[in-house]
Amino acid sequence: MTETIEKAGGDRNRVGLTRADYDGGKTTLCPGCGHNAITAAIIQAAYESSLEPQQVAKLSGIGCSSKTPAYFLGRSHGFNAVHGRMPSIATGVHAANHNLLLIGVSGDGDTASIGLGQFCHLIRRNVPVVYIIENNGVYGLTKGQFSATADVGSTQKTGAVNKLLPIDCCEIAIQLGCGFVARSFSGDQKQLRPLLKAAFSHRGTAVIDVISPCVTFADHEGSTKSYAFVKEHDAPLHSIDFVPYFEDMHVDYEPGMTYDVTMPDGSHLVLKKLEADYDPTDAEMALHRLAEAAREQRLLTGLLHVNPEPRGFDVDQKLVDEPLAALPLDRVRPPRVVLEQIVDQYRQGKVAAAAGGG
């Protein structure tokens, strides 16, 4: 289906842009870094989804992964924040302008260690952000220390063995009620792209944890996040097709063998089952299968959990339709008479006393 768009529009998509229009600056990451493949997937997915660069904001924290927003969608605004705090930036940006599509890129250190609190609270508020974790189990920029997602028994290049239990960001996200939780592999573009496109259509926090091998510090024998290890242990739940809202569903899927998720904008995510009986709308099942897979050293990938219509943050806030940032003065400064009215209440003492002890 993705091919049809490209053919139908020549090299221009629905908003008249070419794939190159979604490029960013040149990567400065190591050659072969998994992150570069994710960057390519984001560019392709954005192009195929006909995202308007003007309506996208790219956000990140600190780390190798967090550098990557400079390498895609160069015509969109970007915000490379401080370590582990991208979720709060995202929350503020969304509050200011809920029409923007937010693409957040983080890493395992940025999310699972220093940023774990903000990650959890972002999900708890269900702020609409496509939250991509580029997960390699190590701190690259500081030269190869374990991160909190490193598996027990995984080794550093120096031979040091990780003894601590890993934090599984997907499990946490599911537990916190996240309505879109996926895991993928930077080497699997066919899976990653439709997941990204579906995430663009989601109306709440969408977490995609992408195992992304670090070629410099974690691609050796003994690392559980090396290309070889991930390829060997990858256990896709399903193969995935994404049918955007502007495309007809013209492929017949074999009943019972597919799972069709309708996204809020009318797009469809069609999951062709590989793993028997996996129901991605069942959060408990997802948690159970994740735990089981971890025991068996299988890396479950695909759409782990989906709930396409959770209550979004802006709905909770009952915001006006326009972006708050765009409201003119007369919408945000009450008239003089209101001040006079309030002042009069203070003159009369018809207000609650100042808070405090007593």
Single out the segment in contact with other proteins by CB under 8 A; choices: 7-15, 70-78, 156-164, 187-195: 70-78
**Residue bearing tokens 């008479």:** 337
Q: Report which of 40, 239, 210 is spatially closest to residue 131, judged by C-alpha positions.
A: 210
Determine, following the binding rule CB under 8 A, whether residue 334 of this chain makes contact with other proteins.
Answer: yes
CA atoms within 13 A on the CB side of 148: 14
The only residue of 54, 142, 145, 297 in contact with other proteins, by rule CB under 8 A: 54
Q: Which of residues 311-330 bind other proteins (CB under 8 A)?
A: 317-321, 323-327, 329
Among 20, 160, 228, 339, binds other proteins (CB under 8 A): 339
Residue 348 contacts other proteins per CB under 8 A = yes
What CA–CA distance (Å, rounded) separates 70 from 201? 23
Using rule CB under 8 A, residue 141 touches other proteins? no
**Shortest approach of other proteins to residue 335 CB, angstroms?**
9
CB atoms within 10 A of CB 282: 15
Residue 91 or 301 with smaller CB distance to other proteins: 91
The residue whose two tokens read 């242990």 is 233
Query: What is the Cα–Cα distance from 103 to 96, expressed in whole angstroms?
Result: 16
Q: Which two tokens stand for residue 305?
A: 């959990």
Q: Which two tokens stand for residue 105?
A: 């890129």
In the numeric block, the tokens 């390519």 are attached to 40
Residues 6+ apart with CB under 8 A from 185: 191, 192, 210, 211, 212, 230, 231, 234, 299, 301
Q: Please identify, using beta-carbon distances, which residue of 55 and 142 lies nearer to other proteins.
A: 55
For other proteins, what does the binding mask look like between residues 268 and 307, x meaning CB under 8 A? Answer: ----------------------------------------
CB of 324 to other proteins, least distance (A): 4
Find the helix or strand (DSSP H, E) in which 185 lies.
strand 180-185
Q: CB of 346: closest distance to other proteins in angstroms? A: 4
Of residues 223, 224, 226, the one with CA closest to residue 215: 226
Binding-residue pattern over the window 215 to 244 for other proteins, x denoting contact by CB under 8 A: ------------------------------
Q: Binding marks (x or -) toward other proteins, 77..96, rule CB under 8 A?
A: xxxxxx--x-xxxxxxxxxx
Residues engaged in binding other proteins (CB under 8 A): 53-57, 59, 69-70, 74-82, 85, 87-97, 99-100, 117-118, 120-121, 125, 317-321, 323-327, 329, 331-334, 336, 338-340, 342-343, 346-351, 353-358
